[in-house]
C-alpha cells in the first residue's frame, strides 16, 4: 500500500443510538486506543457531532448532507 503511495486512517463515526447517552462511548474509545497503539491515524467525530447538535443525523444511520 505504501509503495503505491496510499495511506490508511480510521474515521470513527457513531450511530444515532449514541445520542443522549451519558455512558462512555466504549466502542469509539476502544477503536481509538487500538489505532493509537498501532500508529494508525484516526479521528473520532463524536465530539464534533455532539457540538453540532441533534440535526446531524437524518435517521438512525445516515448523516444530513
Would you state the cell numbers that stand for residue 30, as one nine-digit string?
A: 476502544
Q: Is 54 helix (H, G, I), strand (E, B) or coil?
A: helix
pLDDT of 54 reads 77
Please report the pLDDT score of residue 60 as a whole number.
76
**In 1-65, which residue ranges form alpha helices assigned H by DSSP?**
26-38, 46-52
pLDDT at 27: 84
Query: pLDDT tens across 12-64, in order?
Result: 887 777 666 666 778 888 999 999 999 999 998 888 888 888 788 888 778 88
Q: Residue 36 and residue 40: Cα distance in Å, rounded? A: 6
Supply the pLDDT for residue 22. 67
Question: How far is residue 2 CA from its own chain's centroid?
Answer: 24
Amino acid at each position: 500500500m505504501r509503495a503505491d503511495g496510499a495511506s490508511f486512517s480510521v474515521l470513527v463515526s457513531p450511530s444515532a443510538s449514541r445520542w443522549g447517552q451519558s455512558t462512555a462511548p466504549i466502542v469509539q474509545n476502544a477503536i481509538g486506543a487500538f489505532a493509537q497503539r498501532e500508529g494508525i491515524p484516526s479521528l473520532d467525530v463524536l465530539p464534533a457531532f455532539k457540538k453540532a447538535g441533534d440535526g446531524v443525523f437524518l435517521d438512525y444511520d445516515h448523516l444530513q448532507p
